[in-house]
Amino acid sequence: MILLFIAVPVFVVVLASALLLYRYLSTRHTSAIEGALRETRAPVARALMPILMEPGKIALSGFVARFNLYRKLDLLVRQAGVSWSVNGIFAAMGVCALCGVALGIRFPVLFSPALTCAVLGGVLGLGPLLPLLVKRSKRLKDFEKQLPDALDFLARAMRAGHAFSVSLKVMADESPDPLGQEFKRLCAEFNLGAPLPTVLEALLTRVPLIDLQFFAAAVTLQRQTGGNISEMMLRLAQVMRERSALKGKVQAASAHGRLTGMVLSAMPVCIALFLMITSPQYLGLLLKDPIGKYLILAVLAGQMAGYLCIRKIVNFEV
């Protein structure tokens, strides 16, 4: 009976992984067309998207549509600036979840093998998202550093007599990635006939930065009311640099608290690993005793709560 209870979730995970891998392999050739349509954000593109999607991909989208996972993961891929397939990521998550289930069967350290399989499968299944989050964070930081210099370049180009659209194209061509890549995409969408507010909204979706929101608001306001846009860009670049300097000062002032939080969070884990290596019988009683497992869960929950509290205290929004 216990083997049947374990075999059922394993079979479900294996079947889901195989299905995701099949959907990924069967729909790769439509990814380029879908990406082009997605970036235009036009009503016609949204209307034609289900026609271009094969039945397998529609089924996969329907499977995750209840929680809107497909669109969120696709947005995360675009924000990270990688060309990974969403179906491929789902397949990798399924394979990692299967590995977690296998480890749970082999090492049932929690209250029951089923609970261990569920926890390890869920944790390892989210593993493929970690590189995406790291790439997204690095790309947004690089974009934020490049934006003030790009606005200075844009203002100088307009003072030289170029129109805003021409200056934007020159700035996109001369800027390094990721800023150059995103503004080239914006110029391409604008040249295809999309309204400027629409392409700015698409840019803010791909690059969710407050500094870029200031830029989009300034451009939209200038288009509606008029004014010296070159002077506006120079002032906006100055504000961004002052804000970046203030953020650096705040991070330096809160460095001690952040370091304290990391040390206090890592110390119990390091001590537990040290005791498991030097004196396995010392912590072995907690794993064998039912109450000891509850104590371990309580300790982990307390550590997580303490880390979140310290992070909330030392994390300041500028």
- Give the closest residue to 136 by CA, choosing from 82, 85, 184, 175: 82
Q: What is the model's pTM?
A: 0.70
Q: Residue by residue, what is the 3-state secondary structure of 268-295?
A: HHHHHHHHHHHCHHHHHHHHHCHHHHHH
Q: Which CATH architecture has domain 137-249?
A: Up-down Bundle (1.20)
Q: Which pLDDT value is given to residue 19? A: 52
pLDDT for 100-127, tens place per residue? Answer: 888 888 777 666 778 788 888 888 888 9
Alpha-carbon Rg for the chain, nearest whole angstrom, is 25
Specify the amino acid at residue 212.
Answer: L
Q: Which pLDDT value is given to residue 40? A: 44
CA distance 284 to 117: 21
In terms of residues, how long is the chain? 318
Give residue limits of the domains in the chain. Answer: 2-127, 137-249, 254-314
Measured over the CA atoms of residue 235, residue 238, residue 244 and residue 248, the dihedral's sign is: negative
261 has pLDDT over 90: no
Contact assessment for residue 24 and residue 108, using Cβ atoms and an 8 Å cutoff: no
User: What is the overall mean pLDDT for the chain?
Assistant: 78
Q: What is the mean pLDDT of residues 73-91?
A: 89
Q: Which pLDDT value is given to residue 182? A: 93
Task: Give helix then strand counts, H and E, for the chain.
Answer: 16, 0
CA distance 8 to 209: 45
Q: Which one has a higher pLDDT value, 8 or 316?
A: 316
Conformation bin of residue 68: beta by default, left when phi > 0, alpha when psi is -120 to 50: left
Contact assessment for residue 205 and residue 75, using Cβ atoms and an 8 Å cutoff: yes
- Give the closest residue to 35 by CA, choosing from 279, 202, 198: 202
4 has pLDDT over 50: no
CA distance 210 to 219: 14
CA distance 301 to 298: 5
- Give the closest residue to 171 by CA, choosing from 190, 159, 160, 155: 155
User: What is the DSSP code (8-state) at residue 226?
Assistant: -
* Residue found under tokens 């480890």: 103
User: What is the DSSP code (8-state) at residue 112?
Assistant: S
Grouping H, G, I as helix, E, B as strand and the rest as coil, residue 242 is helix
Contact assessment for residue 233 and residue 151, using Cβ atoms and an 8 Å cutoff: yes
Q: Which one has a higher pLDDT value, 292 or 302?
A: 302
Q: Which pLDDT value is given to residue 23? A: 60
pLDDT for 178-209, tens place per residue? Answer: 999 999 999 999 888 888 889 999 999 999 99
310 has pLDDT over 60: yes
Q: Which pLDDT value is given to residue 3? A: 42
Highest mean pLDDT among 21-25, 160-164, 204-208, 308-312: 204-208
pLDDT for 31-59, tens place per residue? Answer: 544 554 454 444 434 433 333 333 334 34
Q: What is the mean pLDDT of residues 214-219?
A: 91
pLDDT for 125-170, tens place per residue? Answer: 889 999 999 999 999 999 999 999 999 999 999 998 888 889 999 9
Q: Which pLDDT value is given to residue 298? A: 84
Q: Which pLDDT value is given to residue 179? A: 93
- Give the closest residue to 168 by CA, choosing from 224, 136, 215, 214: 215
Conformation bin of residue 209: beta by default, left when phi > 0, alpha when psi is -120 to 50: beta
Q: Which pLDDT value is given to residue 22? A: 54
* Residue found under tokens 């990391």: 262
Contact assessment for residue 303 and residue 265, using Cβ atoms and an 8 Å cutoff: yes
Cβ neighbors of 244 (< 8 A, separation 6 or more) are 144, 145, 148
Q: Which one has a higher pLDDT value, 30 or 233?
A: 233
Q: Which pLDDT value is given to residue 151? A: 93
